């Protein structure tokens, strides 16, 4: 399952990505909010519930969108099992999946164009974790820090 959420700064990009991912990748996307723009909302209120859903299964992924991506990423990584990254580049998103088994992509609604955000997201969602011994060992060490 793919979960998606944003704050007010990522609301428009969230709506765009949810529709494009449903159409282009034919995947189910569950929108965890907000339903409407509220300039006074706070990103941790969306990052935590999404991260808790994502970490229930290794088949789940999440997309979080705020102004820079950083606030959502910091909040998401407070949840045990969350491996959130800020995705500004296609290569970064690919490496985060291949080497770090990232499960949450955080995007910058005030910085990325819709098309670039879509390309980064598609790369993130279609790239598989390379379970080489060195990556497994490193990821196990990360999990032990939780």
Residues placed in the known binding site for D-ribulose 5-phosphate:
7-8, 67-71, 100, 110, 134, 138
Asked if 73 is an active-site residue, the reply is: no
Asked if 66 is an active-site residue, the reply is: yes
Q: Report the side by side order of strands in the sheet with 84-86.
A: 29-31, 2-6, 61-66, 104-108, 84-86
CA pair distance 108, 6, nearest whole angstrom? 10
CA pair distance 18, 130, nearest whole angstrom? 27
- Positions marked active-site: 66, 99
């Amino acid at each position: 399952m793919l979960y998606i959420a944003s704050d007010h700064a990522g609301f428009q990009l969230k709506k765009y990505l949810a529709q494009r991912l449903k159409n282009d990748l034919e995947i189910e996307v569950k929108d965890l909010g907000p339903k409407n723009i509220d300039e006074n909302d706070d990103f941790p209120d969306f990052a935590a519930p999404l991260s808790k859903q994502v970490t229930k299964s290794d088949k789940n992924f999440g997309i979080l969108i705020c102004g820079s991506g950083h606030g959502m990423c910091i909040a998401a990584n407070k949840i045990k099992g969350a491996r959130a990254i800020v995705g500004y580049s296609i290569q970064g998103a690919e490496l985060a999946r291949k080497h770090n088994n990232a499960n949450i992509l955080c995007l910058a609604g005030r910085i990325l164009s819709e098309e670039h955000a879509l390309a980064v997201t598609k790369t993130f969602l279609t790239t598989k974790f390379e379970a080489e011994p060195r990556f497994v060992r490193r990821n196990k060490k990360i999990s032990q820090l939780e």
